[in-house]
Each structure stands twice: as C-alpha cells, then as structure tokens.
A and B are shown apart, each in its own frame.
Chain A
Amino acid sequence: MSVASQDSGMRQGRVARVFIYLVLLLFGLFYLLPLYVMGVNSFKPLSEITGGGMMALPEVWTVEPWLKAWSTAQIGVEPTGLRPYFWNSISMVVPAVAISTVLGALNGYVLTKWRFRGDTILFGLMLFACFIPFQIVLIPMAAVLGTLGLAGTTAGLVLVHLVYGIGFSTLYFRNYYAVFPTELVRAAQIDGAGFFRIFWRILLPSSGPISVVCIIWQFTNIWNDFLFGASFASGGGAPMTVALNNLVQSSTGVKEYNVHFAGAILAALPTLLVYIVAGRYFVRGLMAGSVKG
C-alpha cells in the first residue's frame, strides 16, 4: 500500500515539475521577445519592416543598419553616427566607476576598521545618496558645475556620477568589510603596516567579489543614465543614451526602424557584456555580504 502511494506521489511530483518548467520557459521566452525583435529587425532592410512582419526572420540579411547607426546616421544635425558618443560614454564611465569604487572601498575600510566618533551618523548621511531622487539635485548640481567651470564637459558628468555613486559603493564595501576580521588589521598593525599598506596588502586582495558587484552596479547605472547626460552635457559631448534618443528623434522623413534597433543594441551592448563576463561574481558577491561569517 505504502509503495503504491509513494509511487503515485512521485508521479504527481513529476507532473508538477514539468508544468513548472513549461511556465518558466514561457516567461523566459516572453522576456527575450524584445531582444529578439530588436535583433532580427536590425538585420533587415527597411522595406521588410514597413512591409509588415516584425516577428519574421529577415529574408535578406544585411549589416547596413548597423554600419549606418555606428558611423553615418543623423544625430541631431550632424551625420556622425553613434561612434563619437560611444567614446564619450566610455570616457565618462571608466573614470567615474574606477574612482567611485576606490573611494567606496576606502570609505568602507575607514568606517569599519578605523572607527571614530559619529561614524555611523556619517555613514547614514552617505546613504542618503542612494535614496535622493535624481530630479531634486538637477538645479543645485547645475549651479555647482557652473561655478566649477565644468558645465557641459565630460569631467562634469564624471563628477556628478561620482557624487551619486559613492553612496552605493560605500554601502557595499562597508557591509563587506564589517564582517572582515578586525584581528587581521590588528595583526598587520603589530607587524608594522600603516593605514594604506593594510588596505592595499590585506583588505583589497580579499575584496574581489564585492569589487565586481560594485563595478557592475556602477557601470550599468552610469552607462544607462539619461537624465544627467541630457541635463549636463551639451551637443557633441553627450553620452550614448542621449545620442540614441537624438538618433530616434531626428529622423527627417522616414523612420529608419532598422537603424534605430541597431543603435539601441549598440547602446546596450557594453552593459550586456559586463553582465555576461562578470554576472556570476555578481550573485556570489551579493551573497557573500549577507551570510554572516
């Protein structure tokens, strides 16, 4: 009797599992749909799209839209393609991510291992940076950039993202270093290592996972930012996201959907790449902070 019931129980379990997988598969396909549409249409001549059939595979494969989006499409008034703006974004993202990560790590180190009176309050204040909506700071920030003479420059954008990014990077590193054994720091002090030496030789080598988390987070946020880019960068200095918007808006006559799709994928490519390369560290790093050591 018990054997029979166990058997039917297992069968029921299997049915449920097949059902669950089917549902998950469906959701997966649904989420991939936009990427699919963008992908196939970016390889079609425009006539195929306007002739209907967004879902169909291209009859004639062509890389023409990609080349156009990259180097000759009309952005605003100039026919430059997205290429110069791509480099704008790179030269904004790389320093902003690098500096905010390093400063976040230093802040986390000081806030956990060199505690001082009022350090928790200071940390609490820094966390505001994570919660203040972007719109609130637009006007004061414009004034600050103006005073510093950085208005409309990439350096100005780097500064804006840096200020916003430090809140998050400090949060990440502080929580990570909070469970890092303080005895190691004390041992290093007795060994004669100073403030920076301890950071460089003892803490940083063990900070791989959280650095990856921080870098991915900052990279995607800064790369995808539109509001600050649109507000503080002018014309030729605009980042990729703003340029993409201009590309889509500035069509004279026919809307070249295939070029727009190719441009959108180009704009999303770097963040996609970062996730593919470092995504598994992201999950691992997020877990590492949460499990008590």
Chain B
Amino acid sequence: MGFLDIDNATKSYGAVEVLHKVDISVEEGEFLVLVGPSGCGKSTLLNMIAGLEEITSGEIRIKDQVMNGVHPSKRNIAMVFQSYALYPNMTVRGNISFGMEMHGIPKAERDRKIGEVAELLQIIPLLDRKPGQLSGGQRQRVAMGRALTRDPDVFLFDEPLSNLDAKLRVDMRTEIKKLHQNLGTTIVYVTHEQIEAMTLSTRIAVMNGGYVQQLGTPKDIYDTPANLFVATFMGSPSMNLLEVEIETAETGLRVSTTNAQGAPLHLTLDNPSDALRQFAGRKAVLGLRPEALTDAEGVDQRSVHIERFENTVSVVEPAGSDTFVTTVLGGKDCIARMRSDTPVSAGAPVTFAANMEKVVFFDPVSEARIP
C-alpha cells in the first residue's frame, strides 16, 4: 500500500478505451512524473486522480481511502494547470484566497496564509494585480501559490511549464524542484519533455497509447529502458539503435555489424546474460547512448570493458560543451558524443571507443529489452 495508489485504473470514452489498466503506487514524498507523447493519456490519468474525470474501472486511493466518486474539493489535492487557470476577474490575492474562502476558512487565517505563500514565492508586490497584468513566469508562481495554500496530500501538475520560454522554463524547473525539497509533499507531474522528467522526478512513468511502458527511477529508465519505445523517447540525442547479428565467440558472444565502408566490424561482449545467449546466431537490436560512444580519450575510465574501433566521420556538430559526431554503423547513422576539443573532421577516420558496459539489447520482434 502506497500513499497514492492507482489500481488497475481504466478510462473509456464511450467504446474507446484510452487508458488500459494503469497500475502505479506512489510513496509519500515522491515526485512522480508521467511522461509520454501527445495523446497518450497523461492528462486523463491526472484528471482521474484529481476527480475531474470519472474512473471507468479500477480504483484510485489516497492514504488508503478510495477516491472513486469523491468530489475534487474533498480529495485534499491541489492542481496546477497548463494554462495556469487563474480567474481573470480576480486579483492575485483573490485567486489565492478563493479556495480557502470556499472551504470556509476565516478571513484572518486566509490573510496570514496568503502572506506566507506570497513570501515563499516572492509575489508580494503582485498581490493586487489582475492575472492579465502578469508575465508568464509570474502567473506560474501565482498558480503554484494558489495550490500551496491548501496543504494538499498530493500536488498535481499538468505541463505547468509548457507555456514558458526556454530560459524561464529552466528557472521554474529548479524552483519546483526546490519547492519539493522544502515541502516534501507528494507530487504527480505531467510533461511530454523528457528532460523535465529526468531532472525533476524521483520516479518516472513512461506512457504510450494508454499503457504505462515503464515505471522506474530516472536512472533505471535511462540506463535500462524496458523497450524500444522508452529507449527512443527518453534521452536527447536519442539512443543509437542498430540491428546486429549476435555470434558466438571464444570468450562468449560477439556483435557483428559493418563499418562506414561496409566492412565487417566485431565487438565482443563480456559476461553476456543467459537471455542474450539465446540470441546467438540471430539478429538483435543493439542500443548505445551517444555518451557511451566517444573518442578514445574521453571514454569513462572506470569502465572495465571498452571496445575501440576506427571509422569514418560523416558529420561533426560542435555544441559548445560537447561535439556530436555522426558516423555510419551497420548502414545507419550513429551519434557519438566527444569532448569539445577533440580533433575530428568530416570524411576523416577517427578512433571511437564504445563503453560496452552500457550496451543494451532489444528483441527485434517483441521490442522488449533482453535482460
């Protein structure tokens, strides 16, 4: 039993099922991020937790109390919406106090609370303005202020940063993270930005087509994606995926692919898992993050298994802190992440180092990761 339990929750609109038996258990103080492409059902799930959408079947429990059919205002949750949903006709003060007013909290208590929250979010000078007179970031803060006054069991955020420009988004992201660290309240946060998901969460649920594809810590999701969808969705630039042959070698297994010229290229595998051994003689999809494919000197020195090979560079993209180098492996473009001052030039050969400890394999048919 967790703090917030989503137990086999299903949502249908008429005959169309948009969420299929979602099962997530959230511990107290966790920061759970629901991430996935547009239309995958993130908002629907969040609205079901909030009580704004009915649960078709299954159960949602907060602190072991079944929430099915309980009115949103009785669930002790607070929600921050994508458009902030500030009441346009009320001042910032009015917006923050409205919820408390509806719950019959006396005026003096409300004022004290508003002062407290305004102080925390640094919006005291804005209290008498209307939402129309605020910038995007300020509106965002007010929306959070409104949610904060409720001392909720669970905070729900629906893409709260998607209307902000890039710089402000990063700042507000940090602010939300700080807020979570200070208050320790349980948060469920929806986004379609994988970077937001990685930086904010204690756990991530990657969703697609109404299914939870993987639920785990950011590290789990990043290092051992459950399937090809998660592998491509999380990470930027995304994971390199090559269709390769698994072959038996004298030390165990080796991977066979081709280099830029089409000549065979072999990478050995130490201690392959039993499941992978089953693939000997067959094809599998090899996944390698760009940062695990580097120049010979930039490779993680603690790695016990590094494979070096030479290959022709096709494109060089300096990005300041790193240089992204594209090369062709197995007929497909692969991106390597090299140190910024690595001497590489397009068309010339260079030595690549692959950190084989970070390699993952996927079944090409089921698309699931081979453990």
Contact = CB atoms under 8 A, between A and B. Distances in A.
A186 B77 CA distance: 13
B81 interface: yes
Q: What size tier do the contact residues of chain B reach?
A: 20 to 34
Interface stretch (A144-152, A190-198, A247-255): A190-198
A206 B130 CA distance: 13
A136 to B, nearest CB: 37
A184 B98 CA distance: 12
A191 B73 contact: yes
A202 interface: yes
A189 B74 CA distance: 10
A183 B81 contact: yes
B83 interface: yes
Contacts of A51: none
A120 B139 CA distance: 34
Most chain B CB within 10 A, of A181, A183, A192, A206, is at: A192
Interface in A191-211: 191-193, 197, 201-202, 205-206
A186 B50 CA distance: 10
B177 interface: no
B78 interface: yes
B124 interface: no
A193 B77 CA distance: 14
Nearest to B14: A117
A190 B99 contact: yes
A190 B77 contact: yes
B24 interface: no
A188 B81 contact: no
B366 interface: no
B82 A183 contact: yes
Given A190-B78, A193-B102, A197-B102, A181 B85 contact: yes
Given A186-B81, A186-B85, A193-B102, 11 more contacts: A186-B79, A187-B85, A187-B146, A188-B87, A189-B73, A190-B51, A190-B79, A192-B73, A202-B87, A202-B89, A206-B88
9 contacts: A186-B50, A188-B87, A189-B52, A190-B77, A190-B79, A191-B98, A191-B102, A191-B146, A197-B102
Interface of A: 181, 183-184, 186-193, 197, 201-202, 205-206
